[in-house]
Amino acid sequence: MNPRRIALVFAALVLFITGIQQSASAATELFAGATVPVREFSFDRKMGPFVGCQYTYDVISMVGVGAMGAYHRLSPPAHLVNYSNLVEALAIAKIHPPVGVFLQGGVGVIYSSIGFKGRGESKTDFTSAGGLGVSFMQIEITALYHSVWEGGGSRAFVTASVGTSF
């Protein structure tokens, strides 16, 4: 093959791949970060790590819908409980203009399990989350405020995460 033909094939391949990436309307993201309890929830729980994934599909230009799941491991005071886990599932909406800043919100359920010395208890509540983020290339930095609706009130926590989409 001569150099001109190789350059032409390479240019066509780059345009094809770029076109596929530009028309892609679905994204899967894996993320990890920190969960910080706020308000009343912060009295008996301390900051801990969390991991999760989300899938979004663009329904119209710059607006996507999807699902998000996350596992939070909070660090409780040693004298109160042995562990505190949260598993969250949300239906989400994401507004992402081309400038790199996006808004994200969702509603869903959260499963809480708390291990006291010698016994444990668990419950499921409704939750909502909202916040903003910044995306650059395939990296996203996101901060979300989560509100958990319980029978007589609510508790809240904030998550800060870094993720990669593919």
Residues spanned by the domain of 130: 25-165
- pLDDT band of 23, cuts 50, 70, 90: very low
Question: Domain for residue 15, yes or no?
Answer: no
Question: Domain for residue 122, yes or no?
Answer: yes
Question: Domain for residue 129, yes or no?
Answer: yes
**Closest Cα partner for 155 from 119, 115, 114?**
114
**Contact at 8 Å (CB) between 97 and 64?**
no
Question: Domain for residue 81, yes or no?
Answer: yes
Residue 65 has pLDDT above 60, yes or no: yes
When divided into structural domains, the chain yields a total of 1
Q: What percent of the chain has pLDDT over 90?
A: 45
pLDDT digits (tens, 9 = 90+) for 66-79: 999 999 988 766 66
Q: What is the pLDDT at residue 163?
A: 95
Question: Domain for residue 4, yes or no?
Answer: no
**Contact at 8 Å (CB) between 31 and 142?**
yes
* CATH number for the domain harbouring residue 77: 2.40.160.20
Which phi and psi (to 5°) does residue 129 adopt?
A: -145, 150
- pLDDT band of 6, cuts 50, 70, 90: low
